[in-house]
Structure 1
């Protein structure tokens, strides 16, 4: 009886105007088909058979304005590449401390690129998929806190964002590799400086992750094998892996868009201090387009360089060379396999993408694009891919 009485007493409060939030529901989707144009060489997850899952996605976003500067935002995203398993991409609270300063807490973006906030919203940019070299770091979304400060300097709109976010992925696979999925985790500080002056947008992204952990399955097996020889200490073997290691990240971008045409460039670099499980990477692209009525014709050229780290191999090679000939003969094949495993992460590639976007509806765009990819180093082969699809928002 007591519980019923309490429930009846609370009912009027739940329907009180003061407790009702203004809720906005919207979403986006991308339906994409793609295929590699080379029978034996896959590219960007596509082989010779037409695939509708790799870049297809569907999301619903709910934003609730609770009044007095407090808001709640959640986004649920299902990807075709993950069997349409729906997951929370965003789930955070924001509070307007002042007209210029906002506090955010919960699951949110890492903001490492120009398009970080809406990387999954294909309708927001001209490509089907942003250049995968620049947009390839494992950090995407995570749990943490952030501050956003906005102001105006003369004719320039200024945005400064700081976030501290932790991230974990159960089945992470580094870009450009085919190793078995393994857990990944990171804690990172990210600072963004964004400016808009008339038709010119530009910005700087700085990231520092003091704790990155990823046990690459292939390298972990090698470390375990070397440990059985008893020749090397734990610190040398741990160089194979990322165990609470640090990485520095830098990104810069600029875009000029007077309306009928645009040009955009973005550069990112990552520097892993100790972990051989990752390559240090430099990536850049330049993209330009012309708009005519509802059509946008665009061309993108990019370069990516993944540089393996050989700290563990370089520490091992002199030790093996100093062993008796019989012992060398036994361990040299393992040493060669170690070097090969590190080199599988290597890449020195360039590509160009030619595409067309047709805004056939106020909320939908049809896109088609062709990519030609060339790699001079590493196991990833040259290839070509053709993709087409529809992006929409609702």
Structure 2
């Protein structure tokens, strides 16, 4: 969506008669500069040249209270890494069925992490860039319906959310890469359980993706080549392609924040049907100390991506049974299949050191250094330095 269309949308909303709706407009922005500290290594989309686009963003949110428990909310977000094209990140209606139960319908968040609801609002947390292993889903928003239930159990605030969401993107590119854009789609169910008891926040996130498809051209070509040999069963091709697959996602988090300091931990696991997608485990522990308007913080995290070898394990016995004279013709397919399965292989760890200075009630200046090491797969060591300003208005 171009800016002219967005401006017209906002103007139309603001022109709504006051007797019909109460309009509230706010927003947020992040202006971030960053660079890899290694001349020959890139990390999280940054190379040795200073980049002002990768994590820079600007958003405007318009909320209309229509009365009687009915509200309309739209969030328009522009990202530097997407050439500042403006898109609807949120666009949904909500209705209070009771004082404790709310229905949502439209474009809304995938709630799979602690900071899912406001992951783009950098002012809401201490990092410039949240840990990329845990916060790594291809989508942050999708279209669907949701139910949100909130209540109080003794001294504990309880929130339960269920959503059924679908999403698709014709030109998906995994974060931090520059591979060929390709269609990606997913739909599924999400359940969140969140609790707050005094200074302690904790929760459980469960997701079941009933239909996941990634039409990456290189994988499609590889699968077609394997199938054309006529040597391997159809299941082998299915175990290469992430087409019409399913996945489960589990996440847990906990945070203790008495005021002058805090500690936060989060863990996620992604299990998928056999394909070129790896099984993923990610976790981090982060803590910080506040000195007035200044927060010093540190984070340690690890990520492990395990290739799924079902396709290769099915191909090797067939290959080994071929006459020696025929094996050289099939050997390149064996090598390409192994390479495709191991592309996402990862056994990495990292630490992040940072500083946040709230120099204004609505703005924070941040500096952040991350050192990353991967012992498996195509990535190697890397370091990145970021600095920027997050603000809300």
TM-score, length of structure 2 as denominator length: 0.94
> 1:170 touches 1:183 (CA, 8 Å); kept in 2?
yes
Instruction: Give CA deviations for 1:115-167 in whole Å, capped at 9, x if unaligned.
Output: 00000000000000110000001231000000000000000000000000001
Q: Which residue of 1 aligns with 2:363?
A: 364
Q: Structure 2 CA distance, aligned partners of 1:115 and 1:162? A: 16
| Large movers: runs of 4+ above 6 Å | none
Q: Report what 2:340 is aligned to.
A: 341
- Matches of 1:319 and 1:24, distance apart in 2: 65
Q: Secondary structure at the match of 1:241?
A: coil
RMSD: 1.3
Rounded to whole Å, the distance in 2 between the matches of 1:210 and 1:194 is: 24
List runs of 5+ in structure 2 lacking aligned partners: 1-14
Shift of the 177–306 alpha-carbon distance from structure 1 to 2, 3 Å rule, reads farther
8 Å contact kept, 1:215–1:243: yes
Considering only CA atoms, is the larger Rg found in Structure 1 or Structure 2?
A: 1
The reply on whether 1:184 has 2:184 as its aligned counterpart is: yes
**SS of residue in 2 equivalent to 1:325:** coil
Does structure 1 conserve the Cα–Cα contact (< 8 Å) formed by 2:151 and 2:157? yes
Q: More displaced, 93-102 or 327-336? A: 327-336
Cα distance in 1 for partners of 2:258, 2:215 equals 47
Partner of 1:34: 34
Change (3 A) 1:311 1:15: closer
In structure 1, how many angstroms separate the alpha carbons of the residues matched to 2:329 and 2:201? 59
2:62 corresponds in structure 1 to 62
- Confirm whether residue 279 of structure 1 aligns to residue 271 of structure 2: no
SS in 1 for 2:243: strand
Alignment of 1:351-390 (within 5 A): 351-390=350-389
Displacement of 1:313 in angstroms is: 1.0
Q: What is the CA–CA distance in structure 2 between the aligned matches of 1:93 and 1:334, rounded to whole Å?
A: 50
1:107-256 to structure 2, matched below 5 A, reads 107-175=107-175, 178-256=178-256
Instruction: Work out the CA distance in 1 between the residues paired with 2:80 and 2:231.
Output: 46
Question: Equivalents in 1 of 2:42, 2:356: separation in Å?
Answer: 24
1:243 aligned counterpart, secondary structure: coil
Pairs within 5 Å for 1:42-57 = 42-57=42-57
Q: Give 1:230 shift.
A: 1.4
| Residues 177 and 345 in structure 1, CA contact (< 8 A), matched pair in contact too | no
2: CA distance, partners of 1:297 / 1:359: 12
How many equivalent residue pairs?
Answer: 379
In the TM superposition, what whole-angstrom CA distance separates every residue of 1:230-255 from its partner, at most 9, and x where no partner exists?
Answer: 11233321221111111000000000
Q: Which runs of 5+ in 1 are unaligned?
A: 1-13
Q: Secondary structure at the match of 2:134?
A: coil
Shift in CA distance, 149/133, structure 1 to aligned 2, threshold 3 Å: same
User: How many angstroms does 1:175 deviate by?
Assistant: 4.9
* Stretch moving more, 328-337 or 315-324: 328-337
- Structure 1's 56 and 340: CA in aligned 2 closer, same or farther, altered over 3 A? same
